[in-house]
Structure 1
Amino acid sequence: MASVGFADCAVLPKSFPAGLTDKLLCAIMYLLNQYNWYKGVEPVEIIISGNSSKPIYAQITEQLKAQIMDGTLHAGESLPSMRSLAKSLHVSVITVQRAYEELQRDGFLETTVGRGSFVADQNPEIYREEQQRKAEEHLLAAAEIARVSGISLESLVQALTIFYREEE
């Protein structure tokens, strides 16, 4: 999310009433973004879905993990404070705290009291495990489709073997 100007109030939810309130909130969001930019904290792009069956903390965790894995967030990069992120997402600080704690436990974040949370140096083993977990999710989906469609295990293994060897 880039810094917003006063003319660009896209940071506000569409449900806010028009008028002075939304202009004031937009000004506050603008100042918060400017402060974060000054402090060297890049805003993170997180989209919370109210229709998802996943808890909000899990949505935050997954999206931050994905941004770390794909290089959008780099090792040593500062993340917004829990309070700041909670405010920008309109969620509880406890929700963000739970997401950060899970990311820290999994080795994706380092948190220091008084300094904040930072993207941890990437451990190649953690990266490999995360990629394997993603592959297993896709394989599970493929297995379920094959089972329902009457595709044999042998055909599925043969297709996977062909796809795997295509890259070699």
Structure 2
Amino acid sequence: MNLSVSLTSGDPIYLQIKEQIKKQIITGLLKEGELLPSIRSLAQTLKISVITTKRAYDELEQEGLVTSVSGKGTFVSEKNKQSIREVKYRQLEEKVKAVIAEGRSLGLKQAEILQLFEIFYGEESEA
């Protein structure tokens, strides 16, 4: 697992870690059942606080992407497919919102935006 943190980033360090791990899970770089580095080990590698690393792992666990097993470590969740689908769906929602906002700023009506979706959706299924 390859992670890096930026002290000059506007994002908190725990969030940087969480998002990088989440991305690696979603893209399949980290596989179901794979053991993540221990909280202490990751903190030491990144030269950050153990509390910061724990917060990132706790949030990933709350989202269902990882599972902590007492005495054994933190693993990529086995029931991951539904969690990943949910995360990707939320990301897609945000992109659709952005497209709609852009369309509105151009003065497009709802029917025109829907027509664009229908055109491009049809192209993808033909390819």
Change (3 A) 1:47 1:145: farther
More moved, 152-161 vs 113-122:
152-161
In the other structure, the counterpart of 2:124 is: 167
Q: Report the TM-score, using the length of structure 2 for normalisation.
A: 0.84
Task: Give unpaired runs (5+ residues) of structure 2.
Answer: none
In structure 1, the gaps of 5 or more residues are 1-43
More helix by share: 2
State the match for 1:15 in structure 2: none
Aligned residues: 125
TM-score (norm 1): 0.66
Shift of 1:81: 0.8
| Root mean square deviation of aligned Cα | 1.8
3-state SS of paired residue (2:52): helix
Larger gyration radius, structure 1 or structure 2: 1
Q: Displacement of 1:51 after TM fit?
A: 4.3
Measure how far apart 1:62 and its partner are.
Answer: 1.4
**What amino acid is aligned across from residue 113 of structure 2 in structure 1?**
L
Structure 1 range deviating more: 115-124 or 46-55: 46-55
**Alignment partners' CA distance in 2, 1:45 and 1:62:** 12
Aligned to 2:76: 119
- For the residue of structure 2 that corresponds to 1:167, the secondary structure is helix
Distance 1:52 1:108 in 2: 24
Higher relative contact order (CA 8 A, sep 6+): 2
